[in-house]
Structure 1
Amino acid sequence: MFRNYFKIAFRNLANNKVYSLINIAGLTIGLTCAMLILLYVKDEVSFDRFNRQSARIFRVVYQYSNHGEEQRYVSTSLLQGPKFAQNIPGIKSFTRIQDGRVDFKNEADIESKEVLFVDANFFSTFTFPLIAGDANTCLKSRHSVVLTKDEAKKQFGTTNAVGKVMMVNDKGSFVPYEVTAVTENCPQNSSVQYKMLLPIRGAEDAIKNNGDWFSYYLSTFVVLDEHANPDVVATQMQRFYEQDAAQTFADMMAKFGNGRDHNIGTYSLQPLLDIHMSTDFAASNGLENASNPIYAYILSGIAGFVLLIASINFVNLTVARSVRRAKEIGIRKSIGSDRRQLIIQFLGESFILCGIAFVLAILLAQLILPIFNELANKKLAMSYLLDAKLIFGYMGLFLITGLLAGFYPALVLSGYSPIDTLYSRFALKGKGMLQKILVVLQFTLASFLIIATFTIYAQFNYLTRTDLGYDDKDLVVVSGANVTHEEAATFKNELLKSPDILYVAPKNGGRWATMARLANDSAISFAYETVDESFLPAMKIPLVMGRNFSTQFPGDSAHAILVNESFVKKAGWKNPLGQSVIFNFKDNKTYEVIGVVKDYHFAALNEKIGEQLFTMENSNPYGTFYVKIRPNSASRSLQFIAQKFRTFFPLKPYSYVFKNEANLKSYESETRWKQIILFGAILTIFISCIGLFGLSVLSAEKRTKEIGIRKVLGASVRSIATVLSVEFVKLVMIALVIAVPLSWMAANKWLENYPYRITLGWTIFVAAGALVLMIAVCTVSFQAVKAAYANPVKSLRSE
């Protein structure tokens, strides 16, 4: 019996090649999306679970209230680890991780590399297998370095690198560091990522300085005893902290003022397994691969949309072709087949078709996995399929898809009356409400994603094309860490000898931030910029009042400052010129405001412009040079800058970036997601059109005689095609009416993440609606015109 079912199933697929191909193609695409998303989600939830002690490893985090606003820190200083470990009985050990860059010298070449500074017990806390070396001792020596196997091959051409020497910049001079261990490469699903490990610096005397309770620059992890309760340990930590840091906190508040707006804060424990997808305490400061669970939800939603639409297509197309199989069903029933057997047969056909699609989906997933990895910023591999849970997940996916796609058609087809089908009195009953509802659902989902795509593209264009308040074109940012003002001035004058270089403006490296007092004793936090008189002209940043720094006023480098408009607003000044700002950490040194800088976007547009203060303070080192070059002179200018830099700073690594390119990199996440949503929209609209095509076939077959009568009575091909198409246009319009408010709410919710964003206008919704309608009309017109051109004699012959 089952052999007969298989024979009939394959014969039916072969006799309806086009429709079989459409069904298989739709299910293949849907299953491929679902497989890739399962890989993505599996990778997300597996982060850091490879560590043997993962359930007992926690990160020390801190939060406090500042002016009523909750501040969260994932960082500590060197002090918290040993303090808590010595005084809290539930803590077994601690490990600290600090990211940084170190200069390495290879003969005459100097290169700056990212490294992690870690405690000697790093490998007893985290599970990173060693290829060579001793995990217990490899980080105990002050001048030791641990490499991954890829980094060892890169540096020495072999993984047998233990005992080899690397020249490392240590306190201004290059000293030999010995490679003491080589490890496997970090797993891709690890929050801790490194290529080089060095022993953490300055840890010996850290526990003696209670002021470090309020410093935050590295990550501290603790390992709890097997029977310790994390909540109890966190409570004990907080109690000890409040006692031990009470006097230090009181002294700081007395010194910095405005203590009523601060509290001592709260230390707590964050499980290692929660870090990867945490939105409150994200992976940062020595940890990488921070994610957001919303990404998994979005991708899962897209995969679910595509798979659901593919299954709807199967239902529509199968029912649409059921007229052709009516006599087969009548004959089977007349010779004794019951409904249960017919249901089994049609479900069997569904599972055969799904099985073919499933195999093709595995092959397609393998082919497009590199593209998906690039879009999702992952390094997924199909070897993940060997995971038992994932295999069961795919088996469940196969069963659900087979049942979802085949159950309703099986019920419909098995319920036909044998008398009606054998005497050609059979007709599809009803108005096909379920099929129409399914098509409305399809186009609602497709319209939703298209509107989402238009919104994301509009926001991305806004972010990348909005005036930043300064000119980032032809602006080269050259790194030069810890350069004195005298060195910077000499280097600047040398660069300006080139006719291709218009401005050279030294500036501090990275982003500095601090806090100071105003004359009324209120505290204010701000971005702290160290520049010279060329910075504002080079960037074309205007002043709204006052003057710029000038070499004609020697006192500018001692006590003059510039502030931006946001600083003035926050300070509540009506007349900012001449106002005082008092720096507590500089022994209450007072600076005078000489000018107000117009607000500009010194950070990406996904951050609100904050308070900013500029100084020429001689004691602050420079870390970068902003070099403005003439248009179309990049090649010559870069060669000249590199040559001069190596002449003036032979012990510093040379690197540069164009400011406009660096600004674009700030929106890499938006770039990826606009591509992902675009592909999702294309897939859903494509598969939805297949479903609409199936419904147009169903409608044409139900109205065959009506079309024949209309043609006999003189109806034109155009009028018949219009009659057949109108009902589908109505379905798409209904879908748009449903999709527009849903997408408007979702888009507004998403845009709330951006302080600077587009205003959702009617143009996005009209453009998306017009596109959906155009695609739908083109889809149904083909079948409508074909039916209108059919010979009416054939359709009316049975009357």
Structure 2
Amino acid sequence: MIQNYLKIALRTLFRNKVYSFINIGGLAVGMAVTMLIGLWVWDELSFNKYHKNYNRIAKVMQHITNNGDIQTRESVPYPLAEELRKNYGSDFKHVVLSMDDVWNVLSYGDNKFLKVGSYFEPQGIEVFDVKMLKGSADCLKDPSSIILSESVAIALFGKTDPLDKVIKMDNQYNVKVTGVYEDFPRNSTFNTVTFIAPFKLFYNRYGWVRTIADPWRANAFQIYTQVADNADFDKVSLKIKDVKLKKVNSELAKMKPTLFLQPMANWHLYSNFKDGFNVGGRIQYIWFFSIIGAFVLLLACINFMNLSTARSAKRAKEVGVRKAIGSAHGQLISQFYSESFLVVTIAFIFSLCLVQLCLPFFNELANKNIIILWSNPLFWLAGISFSVFTGLMAGTYPALYLSSFQPVKVLKGTFSIGRFASIPRKALVVMQFTVSITLIIGTIVIFRQIQYAKNRPIGYETNGLVSLPQAINEIHKHFDVVKDELYKTGAIVSICETSGPTTESWSSSSAFEWPGKDPNQLAEIPIVGTSYDYGKTIGWQMKEGRDFSKAFATDSSSVILNESAVKLMGLKNPIGKTITWFKQPFTVIGVVKNVIMQSPYEQVKPTIYNFNKEDVAYILAKINPEMSASMALSKIKTVFDKYNPSQPFDYNFVDEEYAKKFGDEVQISKLASTFAVLAIFISCLGLFGLASFVAEQRTKEIGIRKVLGATVLNLWQLLSKDFVFLVMLSFLLATPIAYFFMNSWLKKYEYRSDISWWIFVASGLGALLITLLTVSYQAIKAASANPVKSLRTE
């Protein structure tokens, strides 16, 4: 029986090649899109599950009140680790002090690389289940040891065994390689970590850690914990929430530091906080794309249902004959279900091929390393369940509808589809285009928000600005000579030193006082250390006063404020005013327009620039616009290699670094627009099939109208108007839905665009144009046919 069902199903598919192609093609594309989204969601939900103790790991974080706002920080003071071990040991299995994302030069022989790594206390290896390929779990007990990722070990030593080899860090310290670990996967928080060294090494090496006057004041470290097996994250958070508050001085206590544990399960998907509460994060994109995936699959299923029911008249006689010779209602349902499942099975096979072909492009688009989980039973269980569900959803309505025909009416020729039979199909078309138009509107809104933030004045000139990280301070020692040589090459027009990159704020302080400050006001203000020519190099815009200058010996005790800092301090005439920092006086010599260093979607934070030539982490250079970037960089490299041969030449274009601030939104925009295009394609595929069916169904009517004098334009209008009406109805439904969701999405940004009326009009007109283009081919083809042939068919 099943074999007979499949044979009939195959004959039906081959007999109607166009409709079969549309059905299988539409379902395959819909299933492929849903599968890609499913793999993306799986990768997002799997983030950090690489670590064995995933469900018991947490990061110690804090809420502080800064100038009336509750802000959430990941960094904490380092004495906190010992305090937690000493007084709350029963709640934690491990407490690990860490310094993350530190750039160091690793060198062995002629091989040298600038790499980012982390400094952990030894138990961090066990907490994060670092998979050791060489060495043991106690490999960090020696303060002069280091373990390397597999990729870095190969880069440094090739095929030679790296164990017990001595390498140099920053050309100053010798460390012994005591282990090699498997590279962290891309969907791990530590995916950029290429080496791990003991925290004791960091403590011993960097003098500023040992000389901090008040260790509880410096929020510069990370603390990771593995809670005890019987401990609850929320209960432990309540226990430790006031630990820091009890240790800081009365001034810092005004900031009301409140500690809490952020479970590893929330690091990636629930990383956003507002006013001391978690407000989600990437989890919203999980829901967003999951909904898109479900709707794209629904669109493909709608095509199947629409085309199956639309062609019901063609199969009415088949159903009548089968019933007349004894086919039971259940047998007919089984027959149509078998056709549905055959189409779905073929579509599923094609979808796997499509996914495999598209994965390289999709991974590049989504910045992922996703693969099809061929060996994972859950993948096949999901795939089969997915196919069965799709087969049932796509085949139920056609099976029940077609099997309900009465054989007497069909065989006597009195069977009629009925004037209301097309209503379900029209409703499904409206649903399809409602989803498609909503996606179009959403894509445009996301794109406009990105462009709105990108077009925001950033306060300095990024073109030709190059950032050069300095792990070794040799360039700093010879800075004046290096500067002179670079000017002579003609490669640059300006150069300076700074304590951090222009696109980030690395340091802040709450120890500032200024005239008229409220004694109860406590504000933590970002601070940037600069050398001479910083303003000239980045091209900031001076609003009042002047820049730092060698002509003024007092500039070592001067500061420059941005507009937000002036507003915060309430200084009406700031030039010449004295502010104190740790009781030391500094004179305000200038005010610059706001420079965006944090998120481009937020208000610019108050910032103070001080003259500081000792704290140098980066060198900024402005490339000569009359010289090509490649030639300029080549000349800069030659000079840098001459005075700092121990550090590999590394640079970043500041405009590219700034563009990374839009990374998540750009990625989501690209994915959303891709899925929107595919959703429209699937909808148009079904529309094309329906238009073809309608034109075929009205062949005689078209012939008669042509004989009576109807023009091609008249007939095109006749065949297109119903579809135009359906799309317009879809537009009316999609508009409030899209506005509600996109308005909610925009609210998370302080600096955001509006939702203009033209977005909806453009989306509606776009959908209408696509509809007309899709329908017009079949409409014009039918209208141009010879009426003699259509009227002689019987």
**How much does 1:309 deviate?**
0.4
1:224 & 1:403 partners in 2: Cα distance? 46
AA aligned opposite 2:264: L
1:340 & 1:187 partners in 2: Cα distance? 52
- Provide closer, same or farther for how the CA distance between residues 604 and 57 of structure 1 changes in structure 2, counting only shifts above 3 A: closer
Asked if the contact 1:210–1:248 (Cα under 8 Å) also holds between the matched residues in 2, the reply is: no
Choose 657-666 or 203-212, whichever is displaced more: 203-212
AA aligned opposite 2:149: T
AA aligned opposite 1:163: D
1:315 aligns with 2:305: yes
Q: Deviations over 1:668-722 (max 9, x none)?
A: 3233222211211110111111122233234335544543443343322321221
Q: 2:665 aligns with which of 666, 670, 684?
A: 670
1:561 & 1:593 partners in 2: Cα distance? 5
AA aligned opposite 1:659: V
Asked if the contact 2:134–2:163 (Cα under 8 Å) also holds between the matched residues in 1, the reply is: yes
1:273 paired residue number:
265
1:168 & 1:513 partners in 2: Cα distance? 28
- Provide closer, same or farther for how the CA distance between residues 758 and 28 of structure 1 changes in structure 2, counting only shifts above 3 A: same
1:488 paired residue number:
479
Asked if the contact 2:491–2:636 (Cα under 8 Å) also holds between the matched residues in 1, the reply is: no
1:180 paired residue number:
178
- In the TM superposition, 1:474-513 aligns within 5 A as 474-480=464-470, 482=473, 487-510=478-501, 511=505, 512-513=507-508
1:354 & 1:29 partners in 2: Cα distance? 11
AA aligned opposite 1:4: N
Q: Deviations over 1:577-621 (max 9, x none)?
A: 22222102xxx0111112211223344523422212222245544
Asked if the contact 2:337–2:395 (Cα under 8 Å) also holds between the matched residues in 1, the reply is: yes
- In the TM superposition, 1:760-775 aligns within 5 A as 760-775=755-770
1:601 & 1:75 partners in 2: Cα distance? 22
Asked if the contact 2:56–2:227 (Cα under 8 Å) also holds between the matched residues in 1, the reply is: yes
- Provide closer, same or farther for how the CA distance between residues 499 and 138 of structure 1 changes in structure 2, counting only shifts above 3 A: closer
**How much does 1:733 deviate?**
0.9
DSSP-derived class of the 1:503 partner: strand
AA aligned opposite 1:679: T
1:61 & 1:281 partners in 2: Cα distance? 11
DSSP-derived class of the 1:666 partner: helix
1:67 aligns with 2:63: no
AA aligned opposite 2:513: R
Asked if the contact 2:491–2:635 (Cα under 8 Å) also holds between the matched residues in 1, the reply is: no
1:416 aligns with 2:405: yes
- Provide closer, same or farther for how the CA distance between residues 580 and 344 of structure 1 changes in structure 2, counting only shifts above 3 A: same
1:163 paired residue number:
164
Asked if the contact 2:474–2:644 (Cα under 8 Å) also holds between the matched residues in 1, the reply is: no
DSSP-derived class of the 1:324 partner: helix
1:287 paired residue number:
none
2:219 paired residue number:
216
1:371 aligns with 2:361: yes
Choose 704-713 or 414-423, whichever is displaced more: 704-713
AA aligned opposite 2:589: I
1:654 & 1:207 partners in 2: Cα distance? 30
DSSP-derived class of the 2:605 partner: coil
Q: 2:564 aligns with which of 553, 563, 566?
A: 566
Q: Deviations over 1:604-649 (max 9, x none)?
A: 5234222122222455446323334233332332222222223333
DSSP-derived class of the 1:62 partner: strand
2:786 & 2:639 partners in 1: Cα distance? 84
1:719 paired residue number:
714
The number of equivalent residue pairs is 772
AA aligned opposite 1:351: F
AA aligned opposite 1:168: M
Q: Deviations over 1:510-530 (max 9, x none)?
A: 333223121234444333222
**How much does 1:357 deviate?**
0.6
**How much does 1:210 deviate?**
10
AA aligned opposite 2:537: A
- Provide closer, same or farther for how the CA distance between residues 704 and 429 of structure 1 changes in structure 2, counting only shifts above 3 A: farther
2:321 paired residue number:
331
1:473 & 1:61 partners in 2: Cα distance? 37
1:117 & 1:281 partners in 2: Cα distance? 27
- In the TM superposition, 1:546-585 aligns within 5 A as 546-557=545-556, 559-584=557-582
**How much does 1:200 deviate?**
1.0
Asked if the contact 1:721–1:785 (Cα under 8 Å) also holds between the matched residues in 2, the reply is: yes
Choose 639-648 or 456-465, whichever is displaced more: 456-465
1:280 & 1:476 partners in 2: Cα distance? 31
DSSP-derived class of the 1:625 partner: strand
Asked if the contact 1:90–1:233 (Cα under 8 Å) also holds between the matched residues in 2, the reply is: yes
TM-score (norm 1): 0.90
Choose 784-793 or 20-29, whichever is displaced more: 784-793
**How much does 1:117 deviate?**
0.9
1:402 & 1:105 partners in 2: Cα distance? 60
AA aligned opposite 2:402: L
- Provide closer, same or farther for how the CA distance between residues 156 and 46 of structure 1 changes in structure 2, counting only shifts above 3 A: same
- Provide closer, same or farther for how the CA distance between residues 195 and 484 of structure 1 changes in structure 2, counting only shifts above 3 A: closer
2:688 & 2:283 partners in 1: Cα distance? 36
Choose 205-214 or 293-302, whichever is displaced more: 205-214
- Provide closer, same or farther for how the CA distance between residues 495 and 177 of structure 1 changes in structure 2, counting only shifts above 3 A: same
**How much does 1:325 deviate?**
1.4
- Provide closer, same or farther for how the CA distance between residues 50 and 616 of structure 1 changes in structure 2, counting only shifts above 3 A: closer
Identity of aligned residues (%): 34
Q: 2:628 aligns with which of 628, 633, 638?
A: 633
AA aligned opposite 2:423: M
Asked if the contact 2:475–2:640 (Cα under 8 Å) also holds between the matched residues in 1, the reply is: no
2:481 & 2:160 partners in 1: Cα distance? 44
1:501 & 1:229 partners in 2: Cα distance? 57
AA aligned opposite 2:26: G
1:128 paired residue number:
130
Asked if the contact 1:428–1:702 (Cα under 8 Å) also holds between the matched residues in 2, the reply is: no
DSSP-derived class of the 1:92 partner: strand
Asked if the contact 1:74–1:281 (Cα under 8 Å) also holds between the matched residues in 2, the reply is: no
Q: Deviations over 1:293-350 (max 9, x none)?
A: 1221222122112111000000111112222212111111111112221111101110
Choose 311-320 or 566-575, whichever is displaced more: 566-575
**How much does 1:532 deviate?**
3.6
Asked if the contact 1:275–1:281 (Cα under 8 Å) also holds between the matched residues in 2, the reply is: no
DSSP-derived class of the 1:496 partner: helix
AA aligned opposite 1:91: F
Asked if the contact 2:530–2:613 (Cα under 8 Å) also holds between the matched residues in 1, the reply is: no
- Provide closer, same or farther for how the CA distance between residues 601 and 176 of structure 1 changes in structure 2, counting only shifts above 3 A: closer
- In the TM superposition, 1:344-423 aligns within 5 A as 344-382=334-372, 384-423=373-412
AA aligned opposite 1:541: W
2:57 & 2:596 partners in 1: Cα distance? 39
- Provide closer, same or farther for how the CA distance between residues 447 and 336 of structure 1 changes in structure 2, counting only shifts above 3 A: same
1:286 paired residue number:
none
TM-score (norm 2): 0.91
- Provide closer, same or farther for how the CA distance between residues 538 and 119 of structure 1 changes in structure 2, counting only shifts above 3 A: closer
2:140 paired residue number:
139
- Provide closer, same or farther for how the CA distance between residues 653 and 148 of structure 1 changes in structure 2, counting only shifts above 3 A: closer
1:48 & 1:621 partners in 2: Cα distance? 34
- Provide closer, same or farther for how the CA distance between residues 705 and 763 of structure 1 changes in structure 2, counting only shifts above 3 A: same
**How much does 1:416 deviate?**
1.8
2:277 paired residue number:
none
- In the TM superposition, 1:672-751 aligns within 5 A as 672-751=667-746
Q: Deviations over 1:206-225 (max 9, x none)?
A: 99999434432232222233
- Provide closer, same or farther for how the CA distance between residues 615 and 128 of structure 1 changes in structure 2, counting only shifts above 3 A: closer
Asked if the contact 2:272–2:281 (Cα under 8 Å) also holds between the matched residues in 1, the reply is: no
AA aligned opposite 2:117: V
Q: Deviations over 1:112-151 (max 9, x none)?
A: 211111111222222233222121x211112211122222
Q: 1:430 aligns with which of 419, 429, 442?
A: 419
1:200 paired residue number:
199
Choose 730-739 or 513-522, whichever is displaced more: 513-522
